[in-house]
Structure formats: C-alpha cells, structure tokens
Structure 1
Amino acid sequence: MQGTILILDGVATNRIILKVQLSAAYYRIVQGTDLVGLRDLVRRTRPDLIVTAMKLPDGTAEDVKKILSEDPPQAAIPILAIGNQRDRMARLKALAAGIDDVLEQPLNDLVFQARIRSLLRLRDGAEDLPAMTGEVLGFAEAPTAYSGPSRVALVTAQAETGTVWRSQLASKTRHSLRTFRLGDIQGLMTQPVPDAIVIEIPRRDPAPALSLMSELFARSSTANCVVIALAEGAEPHSLADALDRGAQDVMAGGFDAEELALRLELDLARKARRDRLRSTVRAGLRAAVLDPMTGLYNRRYALPYLTSALRDTIGTRGDLALMMADLDHFKQINDHYGHAAGDAVLIETAQRLRLMFEPDDMIARVGGEEFLIAIPGVKANDASRIARRICAEINGRPFRIAGAERPVDVTISVGVVTISAGRIGAAGTDEQLATRLIDQADQALYQSKAAGRNRFKTIEAAA
C-alpha cells in the first residue's frame, strides 16, 4: 500500500466512487461520514491524507481542519477538499482556513491522483522524517509562527503578463515580487534565489514551463522552493505533469490575485516549517558528533570515520596514519589556574591543530585532553614529520591564559601508528581493525610519555 487515505463524505455514492478511484492506485481506504468521533477515527486509523467533501452533514471542510489543528500530531495531516464546480468563494474560504487544496467536481482522475501524490510527497519527505528524528534524538524544536515576508518570482511567457500579475498581486500580499520570462533560468538562479516561484503554463506550448519545473526540482539551490503552476485551460495531463515535476500547487483556473495570495501564504508557511525542521535536525546531528567546547569531532564520530577510512585505504591500496595526542601535565594547569583556564588551553590547542590539517583529515577530542587524528594517504616518514610539527606547534608558542601573570608553556606527546593496505591482515572486521589501531596508537602515546613527554613515538601497525 502507498498510504492510508481517509474519505469523509455524507453521501455514500461519493464515498464509493472515491474508494474505487483510490483503491485502484493501491491506497488503503478508511471512510467516515461526519465530524462525530473524527479525532478518535484519525487517531485509530492514522491516515496520511484526508479527502473531504466541502459540506458534511454536521459541518464543513473548515471544521475538519479546525478539529485536527487542536491536536499537534494530527495538524500536519494534509486535507484535500472536493467542492462544487466554480464555487470561487467557497474555495477561497477553505484555503484561508488552511485547507491544502480544493478540487472541483467533476474530478479528473489524472489530476486527482497527481494532487494526492504531491501532497503525500510533501508530508512524507519534509515533515514526518525530520519531526520523528528530532523527537527520537531529543532535539526537536517547538513550532514557531511563520513571519515572512518572502521572495516571490513570477515567471510568465510574455513580459506584459508578468507586469499585470505583479500589479494585481502587490496589494494582496506582503511578499516581495519580481518578474521573469520563461527560459530566464540564469536570472532565476541568481542569489538570493526566490522562496516561491509562480510559473505560467501556456496552453498551446506547456513544454518550456514543465521543463523549467524539472530544472528547479533537480537543482539543490531551488529544490526546496515553493512552486505554483498557473495553467488556465491547460490539458489535464499538463496539470498532472506539473504536480509530478514538483509543483506544490496548480491553479487550473489561471491567475486570480486573491487566490494566489492565499496559496502563497499557505505554501510558504509550510516551507518555513520544513526549513525549520531541516535546520533543527541538521544542528542536532552536528551536535551529536561534535565536541561542544572545541568544535572538533567527538569519539562517537571518530570510530565510524576511521572504519570508513580504513575501508578506503584497503580498497585503494593506500596508506593511513593514526595519531593519539595528549597534553602533558594538563591536570597541573587545571589545579593551578582553574578549570576555565584549562578549557581555554583545550580550545586554543584545537585551533592550532585544525590549522595544521586538511579538511579531509579527521581531528577528534576523545578524552579530557586527548586528541585523535587520522590522516589518509600518509606513509610512516611523513607521519613522523607531521607528529614533530604537532609538538613544535604546541610547545613553540606559550598559551595566554586570563588571570595568569605570564603566558603558560604547554607541551604535547604524540603516539603514531601507520598502516599500509598491503600489510593489513584479513582477520576481523573493519571496525575491529579500527579499534585495534586506536589501541596501538594509545600504546605509542604511552611510550612517548614514558620517554619523557613532549615528543612522539611512531610504530607500524601490527594488524
């Protein structure tokens, strides 16, 4: 099954027709007749989409939206309303209430199915996963109101059409409006890219507009833009094609400033929620693998990285150096100057180390004053030279500490283990090999400490 759809309609014949249409597309169908017990029905059946008649025996589609909005988990369920032909005021009222879209009878099955696919795609790809991830990992962000204003591009076949649209829409919306000609992909991509793009689909030649939608959907800079297609008199297959190419909305009746303003507000609010969720998840995932004090990677990131680096080393018959570095007598800094001073030393150490290495190298803080460094493609001689530079970088310049009368000398000890693909044994998994290498780098560090500190010790991996 592709998902669960709840059909709400007081007329049995309508429900039967809709069930036949949607069951043929392999959706699981749940049916209801009115608003009584709607919350329990939704909670029990967990629909991915609700298709409702504009008028129910005891209410309207707007009442369905109001009931669901009172329960946050249910508020995100898309609602598609079906109304009478050419009832513009009812359509505008429904959109103003937050209904995701209104289709008019008689339904065209091609457009109907495409609209359902687009709404489910928006829900599945942009809301469920980030929300679930945030909840499970504990960094979900409380929803905030959408504020705007946003950047809106009006793309038309003729420049004069764009000018008319902008003039009529300007008094209906608070968003910033710019006009473009179809085919002006370069201008459309100029930073900052629009938040929403309204595209005219000419009836006689829809291909350029549809190609533009595919182009926008394929580019990372515009893949998350709101796209609204205006297609007055267009064939049903063009409307369905626009939805399948990434349009969030299709206005089959053509340009209507009031309706377009409502759709922009609804779609941009939805986009703001998606962007906020993506940002929250991205920040949470970064926090999960970064040390909050130094900004370096943490141990949680280090082992998977090393496992992957070893796999690449084996696959390319290359080399890899692994270093375990530890600040000498760090406890004395904490005891003498305080933990704030110790933190300052760790932060500056991380900064000095970061400047020494390339972005592809990995530096992680894996203990209080311990750092793990993995450098792909480095042989034993080069690894020794790098370890010597680390020692010189730390002890070559004293550390300035707030409250200390003079700069404080700090030294570091380094244990280095190098490995070549041709000398890696077959025993154990990549993760087990990575763990053994970390242990061997730790042993080399112990040897450099035992030899007097402020030095490095290099060994070849016994893997």
Structure 2
Amino acid sequence: MRIKLASAYYDVIQASNGTEALSIIDSEDPDLVMAGHTLSDMTGETFCQKIKASETGRDRPVLLIMPASDRAALVSALRCGADQVLFDTVSDPLLFSQVRALIRGQYISGQSFLQDNSGPEFGFSEPTTPFLSTLRIAIVADDRSLARQWQNDLRLPQQYKLSNHTPRSLMRDIEMRGAPDILMVGIDGQIPECGLQLLAAFCANSRSASTKVLAVITAGEDAVAAEALDLGANDVLLNGFTREEAEETMLRLTRLARRKHLADSMHSTVRNGLRAALIDPLTGLYNRRYAFPHLQKMAEEAAKASDPLAVMVADIDHFKQINDQHGHVAGDEILRRVTKRMAACLPGDALLARLGGEEFLIATPSTPGSEARQIARRLCDTIGNAPFNLPGATALIPVTISIGLSLGGGRTAQQTTSAMQLLEQADRALYGAKSDGRNQVMFSRPAA
C-alpha cells in the first residue's frame, strides 16, 4: 500500500502498530490516516475511536482496509468513527479516488485551516458544537418511485428534511429553494451515463458548491464509483441501497452532515471575522481599513468618468466634554445616534465610515460643489437642531458637528486628485472649521 501511494506522489509515513501511529499523528498532522482492520496491538475500530476521541483527530479522515467483504464489520467500523471502509480487493482506481475524495473533503470543509489556526488570537477558541441544525436531504433517481422508496426506507432524526426528485424536478427545486444540504443521487452501474452527467452538472454548479453528495451505485463496478468520486461526490454507497443497508446509509449521511456543519461553521466564522475586520462594532459603519481603499476606488471611477466627487470629514464638537459630563456609555449612544442621523441624510451611493473616535468620513459620487454644500449643511443642521434625549439623562444633550469638505473630479478639473489628497484637503478644512467656531462647514481651498 505504501508503494502504491508513493508511486502516486503521496508523502507516506508508515507505522508498525496503532500506538506508534497515534504518536506520529500527533507530531506529523497527516491529511489522511489509513489503517488495517486488525493491528498488532489493537483493532482498527479501537484505533479509530482513539483518534476520534482526541481534539485534533476528531475530524481527521480515517480510512480502514478490511480483509473480506463483511457488511456487519463495515457498519461496525463506520459506527466507531471510520470515514471510509474499503476491502483489500478494492481496485487501484477506486482506492485512489477514495483517497483523493477524503483529502479533498478535508480541505474543502476547512478543517485543516481550523487545526492550524485555532488559537484564541484567531477567534477560533470556542469548542465545536455537536448539534447539527436542520438539514435538507434531496434524493434523486431516474425512477422517482425508487427515490420515494429510498426516502421511506430511511429512518433519520427529525433534523433531516427529506425530499425525492427526478433529475428535472431537482433542478426546478434548486431554482425555487436553493441547493439542498446533502444530495443522495442514484447511479445505475450498468447504464451510468445519465447519473454521472447529473452528478457532474450538479457539482459544477456554483449554487450547489457547499452541498455534500452521496452517490448510490446500483449494480456497478469500482470504475463507476471511482468516476463518481472524481466528479465531485463526497462518498459512495456501493451495491445500491436497500432496507438492509439502511444503517450504513444513515451512518454515511450522518458523517456528511457533520462535514457540512463543519464547513458552514468555518465559513460563518471566517465571514464574521472579515466583517469584524471591516466594520466598526459600535456604529455598524465601515472602518478606515475598508474606507480608504473604497475611497480610492471612488476617486478613480470619478476621474475616469469626469464626474465630481465630494469628500467630507465630520467631527463631533466637544465630544470629550460629553464623555466627561455624561459618561462613556452616553458618549457611545451619542455616536450611534449621530451615525443614524447622518446616514438618513445621505444618498444611497454615499460612503459613510468611522475613521476613529468621533471622526467620520463621507464621500458622495457625482456630486457637484453646490450639491455637496447642501448635503454638508444638512448634516450639520440635522445633528445640531435636535438635542439628544438619552435614557437616564436629566436634560437634553446638545450636539453639533463640524465638517471639512473637498471636491475632486469633474470636467473642469485641471488635474486628477487622488483619494488621499482629497482626504487631506478635507481634513485641513475640518481643522479650519474647528478653529473658526465649530458647528459649520468649511471648504478646502481648491473647493472654495
């Protein structure tokens, strides 16, 4: 087996028994673990249980090789945590396809990323929840009565919602409801073309990229199963599905459900992390990490189209006094409410971001000077003309803002002004507004 895998360009580490293998797994962090069903110091099932019991090995794929076609032993191994079980008579094409599918699933699920970057500093310190939320399982076969029979024979917990389809009705259902979480697709091993074409089309569809696929091969050979795996199936059920094989099928579906849950959790965590990196948590506005590149893009688009671009820097006047007199909780609430008032005054295509503290960046595309003046003045009036009534405050809290404004782009512009130049001009104008008494709009010299 080592020679076979090495000839296929896999880096293989060999262990003489289960205990040595467990030690190697801890130190080498392999992408896949393969083991015989019987080891010199423990059974393959015990070996699987030991790997799955560890925090780092719980979701590491494990492939067991059995010496004989024993379905009861296969089900027992799956129950003990094996991700895949093959018999020693397996053909090389199916063996390599299974190895590729298991390693591919490891990376697609993101589990390798989580293992390498799971420290608290990355925000991944929470333990993985064992709860699997409601999952949609679609069963599809050329003969819909067969799909209905499979659905009736499966006895899955309530968090699984099953539906049966023909290939055509599956595509209609995806158009209406989106892709299922798990697809169980029947492939006739004697006439596999239709089933394989459906599998290929489904796996190539971007809308179903996160769906886990179990291919059910009826009366087929290893070559059909190998092709199904290479087309994108995550797992295969050889020799079809009958009521007698219901437990094996349910174990495989449960494994795919867990992989789906892990992938969704990782994607959600990464998405939330990216959002946290770009969004100010107090106001919900974009922060400067997002605002500066976006402002540069707006400036480039304005220059290309010869459209005017207005850039403003707004600052809450005497904000330190608000914090000192009313407390930081009140100050935070003022920031949130000022944000809402400003957002209500701006056009839909405007950029509103918090630069830090009590300072905000505003950019409005296709805005000539007269319109920019009106927007800036309206912002000042909206904030300054209505004091804030905060819970627990003994009196209304008056708040005003000062705004520095710069203008770029436009057909009459003598030269292209970069985003940073516009921002610097607006910042200097803001300083002038502050020095000249606050609660006003000051224009940069090029904009005056």
- Shorter-chain TM-score tier: 0.7 to 0.9
> Take 2:2 and 2:363, find their aligned partners in 1: how far apart are those partners?
58
> Take 1:303 and 1:216, find their aligned partners in 2: how far apart are those partners?
40
Note if contact 2:408-2:416 (Cα within 8 Å) is conserved in structure 1. Answer: no
The Cα of 1:308 is off from its aligned counterpart by: 4.3
The Cα of 1:436 is off from its aligned counterpart by: 4.5
2:335 to 346, 353, 361: 346
2:168 to 146, 171, 183: 183
> Take 1:34 and 1:416, find their aligned partners in 2: how far apart are those partners?
73
Note if contact 1:49-1:120 (Cα within 8 Å) is conserved in structure 2. Answer: yes
Secondary structure of 1:36's counterpart equals helix
Matching of residue 214 in structure 1 with residue 200 in structure 2: yes
1:138 to 118, 122, 125: 122
1:83 to 66, 73, 79: 66
The Cα of 1:264 is off from its aligned counterpart by: 0.9
Q: Which residue of 2 aligns with 1:128?
A: 112
**What TM-score, normalized by structure 1, do the two folds share?**
0.85
Note if contact 2:179-2:208 (Cα within 8 Å) is conserved in structure 1. Answer: yes
2:216 to 193, 217, 230: 230
**Unaligned stretches of 5+ in structure 1?**
1-17, 427-432
The Cα offsets for residues 110-157 of structure 1, whole Å up to 9 and x where unpaired, read as 222222122111112221225545537431132111344532221121
Q: How do residues 39-58 of structure 1 correspond to structure 2 at under 5 angstroms?
A: 39-58=22-41
Note if contact 1:229-1:247 (Cα within 8 Å) is conserved in structure 2. Answer: yes
Note if contact 2:346-2:375 (Cα within 8 Å) is conserved in structure 1. Answer: no
Secondary structure of 1:72's counterpart equals coil
> Take 1:365 and 1:209, find their aligned partners in 2: how far apart are those partners?
53
Secondary structure of 1:293's counterpart equals coil
1:240 to 208, 226, 231: 226
Q: How do residues 369-448 of structure 1 correspond to structure 2 at under 5 angstroms?
A: 369-405=358-394, 407-420=396-409, 434-448=419-433
The Cα offsets for residues 73-121 of structure 1, whole Å up to 9 and x where unpaired, read as 2333211112234210111011111111112232222222222122111
Secondary structure of 2:168's counterpart equals coil
> Take 1:94 and 1:424, find their aligned partners in 2: how far apart are those partners?
72
Greater shift in the superposed pair: 89-98 or 75-84: 75-84
Q: How do residues 97-176 of structure 1 correspond to structure 2 at under 5 angstroms?
A: 97-126=80-109, 127-133=111-117, 135=119, 137-140=121-124, 141-170=126-155, 175-176=160-161
Greater shift in the superposed pair: 157-166 or 300-309: 300-309
Note if contact 1:170-1:177 (Cα within 8 Å) is conserved in structure 2. Answer: no
The Cα of 1:312 is off from its aligned counterpart by: 4.8
**Unaligned stretches of 5+ in structure 2?**
none
> Take 1:425 and 1:158, find their aligned partners in 2: how far apart are those partners?
65
> Take 1:401 and 1:187, find their aligned partners in 2: how far apart are those partners?
50
Q: How do residues 59-78 of structure 1 correspond to structure 2 at under 5 angstroms?
A: 59-78=42-61
The Cα of 1:193 is off from its aligned counterpart by: 4.5
The Cα offsets for residues 211-246 of structure 1, whole Å up to 9 and x where unpaired, read as 333343344543212211101223444323322232
> Take 1:338 and 1:79, find their aligned partners in 2: how far apart are those partners?
57
> Take 1:318 and 1:371, find their aligned partners in 2: how far apart are those partners?
23
1:259 to 233, 248, 252: 248
> Take 2:393 and 2:58, find their aligned partners in 1: how far apart are those partners?
57
Q: Residues 26, 375 of structure 1: CA spacing in aligned structure 2 closer, same or farther, 3 A cutoff? A: farther
> Take 1:54 and 1:28, find their aligned partners in 2: how far apart are those partners?
22
Note if contact 1:133-1:281 (Cα within 8 Å) is conserved in structure 2. Answer: no
Note if contact 2:108-2:263 (Cα within 8 Å) is conserved in structure 1. Answer: no
2:146 maps to a residue whose letter is: T
The Cα offsets for residues 396-426 of structure 1, whole Å up to 9 and x where unpaired, read as 4332222345543322111122333975569
> Take 1:283 and 1:44, find their aligned partners in 2: how far apart are those partners?
31
Q: Residues 173, 266 of structure 1: CA spacing in aligned structure 2 closer, same or farther, 3 A cutoff? A: farther
> Take 1:24 and 1:424, find their aligned partners in 2: how far apart are those partners?
63
TM-align CA RMSD: 2.8
Q: Which residue of 1 aligns with 2:294?
A: 305
> Take 1:39 and 1:396, find their aligned partners in 2: how far apart are those partners?
70
The Cα offsets for residues 23-67 of structure 1, whole Å up to 9 and x where unpaired, read as 232211111221132232123333111122222222222222222
Note if contact 1:172-1:261 (Cα within 8 Å) is conserved in structure 2. Answer: no
Matching of residue 365 in structure 1 with residue 347 in structure 2: no
Q: Which residue of 2 aligns with 1:194?
A: 180
Q: Which residue of 2 aligns with 1:331?
A: 320
1:453 maps to a residue whose letter is: R
Secondary structure of 1:417's counterpart equals strand
Q: Residues 290, 41 of structure 1: CA spacing in aligned structure 2 closer, same or farther, 3 A cutoff? A: same
Q: Residues 152, 341 of structure 1: CA spacing in aligned structure 2 closer, same or farther, 3 A cutoff? A: same
> Take 1:183 and 1:131, find their aligned partners in 2: how far apart are those partners?
40
> Take 2:153 and 2:26, find their aligned partners in 1: how far apart are those partners?
43
Note if contact 2:303-2:416 (Cα within 8 Å) is conserved in structure 1. Answer: no
> Take 1:337 and 1:390, find their aligned partners in 2: how far apart are those partners?
24
Q: Residues 371, 273 of structure 1: CA spacing in aligned structure 2 closer, same or farther, 3 A cutoff? A: same
Q: Residues 425, 316 of structure 1: CA spacing in aligned structure 2 closer, same or farther, 3 A cutoff? A: closer
The Cα of 1:260 is off from its aligned counterpart by: 0.6
Greater shift in the superposed pair: 435-444 or 283-292: 435-444
The Cα of 1:442 is off from its aligned counterpart by: 1.3
> Take 1:355 and 1:214, find their aligned partners in 2: how far apart are those partners?
48
Q: Which residue of 1 aligns with 2:77?
A: 94
The Cα offsets for residues 302-329 of structure 1, whole Å up to 9 and x where unpaired, read as 3333344445555666553322101122
